[in-house]
Every structure is written in C-alpha cells, then in structure tokens.
Amino acid sequence: MHNHDKCLKAALSQARDRCTRSSARLTPIRESVLTLIWDSHKPVGAYQIVDQLPLLTGKNIQAPSVYRAIDFLLELGLIHRIPSLNAYMGCPFPGSEHSDLFLICRLCGAAAEVGDEAINAMIGDTIKKIGFRREGQVIELSGVCPSCQEEER
C-alpha cells in the first residue's frame, strides 16, 4: 500500500531545501498551500485550496494570497499546473529537468507524474533540430489507473 505521508514529508523537505538554496522564504501560507496540493495524488484547483485552508490553518486566507503562494511554488518548480484541469499537483522531481508527463485517470481523478529519459531526449532533440526555444512543457495522457481497472473487473 502507498505511504502518502512519506510523499508529503519528502515534498516539504525538498521545498525547504530549495528555499534555503535560493534564499526564498517558505512562509506558513506557502507551506500550507503546498501541503494541500500534496494532500492526495489528485490535481487540486486554487479555489479548492482556498476552501480547504481554513481547515488546515484555522484562518480565512483570500484567493489572491493563495494565487501568490501558487506562483511562488510554480517558480521554484515545486508544483506543476495541469492546463486541461486548471489544477495543480506536487512535483516529485523539483530542480531536475524532466518531461512533465502526467497520467490522469478519467474515473477517479488521480494523477501521476512520470519521468522518462527517452522522452526527454526525444523532445530535446526535436526542438534542437528546429531551433525552437521551449518555455514550458506539459504532456497529459488520460486513461484508467490500475486501481480503477481492478474495480472494473
């Protein structure tokens, strides 16, 4: 069985390390937003975070503060935005160049980020050949996760 607490602890540790190295501040609001994004392996929208923050922090935090925290976490590479869902999920590989390949279950909504060196190389080679300057990248695959497949049987 998956130990989700381990994921959350690793994400918070990586966030603290990245903030220390970049002389950035992981404020309580930023840490709370990151915690909520990592709360499950399902992408979460900004307004879901706004709604859940009072339960975590005991304070009402307005949407602009949440969006500023999200922007900070995106800038440090600690989270990703999934455009098709207009939602965010934690990045298990912060600080490394990777393919941002997301597998999204259409039944339960769970999502997983996977890294694949062959995909990274293919994309890198392709954009190098045509002289394209990449400024961002997200690859999304929708389908059915193993748990939902098992339930279908």
pLDDT digits (tens, 9 = 90+) for 3-49: 678 888 999 999 999 999 999 999 999 999 999 999 988 999 999 99
- Does 61 lie in the same domain as 108? no
Which pLDDT belongs to residue 70? 98
Q: Residue 42: phi, psi to the nearest 5?
A: -120, 135
Q: Count how many domains the chain has.
A: 2
The strand pairing partners of 104, in sequence order, are 111, 142
Q: Residue 22: phi, psi to the nearest 5?
A: -100, 10
Residue 14 lies in domain: 4-90
The interaxial angle of helices 63-75 and 46-57, nearest 10 deg, is 100
The last residue of one of the domains, among 48, 64, 90, is 90
- Does 106 lie in the same domain as 45? no
Instruction: In whole angstroms, give the CA distance from residue 3 to residue 20.
Output: 27
- Per residue in 90-147, pLDDT tens? 998 887 777 788 999 999 999 999 888 888 889 999 999 999 998 888 899 999 999 9
Q: How far is CA 34 from CA 19, 23, 78, 81, in A?
A: 13, 18, 8, 13
- Does 75 lie in the same domain as 47? yes
- Per residue in 69-82, pLDDT tens? 999 999 999 999 99
Cα-Cα-Cα-Cα torsion 147, 148, 150, 153, nearest 10 degrees, comes to 170
CB 12 within 8 A of CB 35: yes
Number of helical (H) and strand (E) elements in the chain, helices listed first: 6, 5
3-state DSSP assignment of residue 28: helix
Question: Within 10 A of 73 (CB to CB), how many other CB atoms are there?
Answer: 24
- Does 82 lie in the same domain as 148? no
CATH number of the domain encompassing residue 140: 3.30.1490.190
What is the band of 1 on the pLDDT scale with cuts at 50, 70, 90? low
| 96 located within any domain | no
| 84 located within any domain | yes
- Does 82 lie in the same domain as 15? yes
CATH number of the domain encompassing residue 85: 1.10.10.10
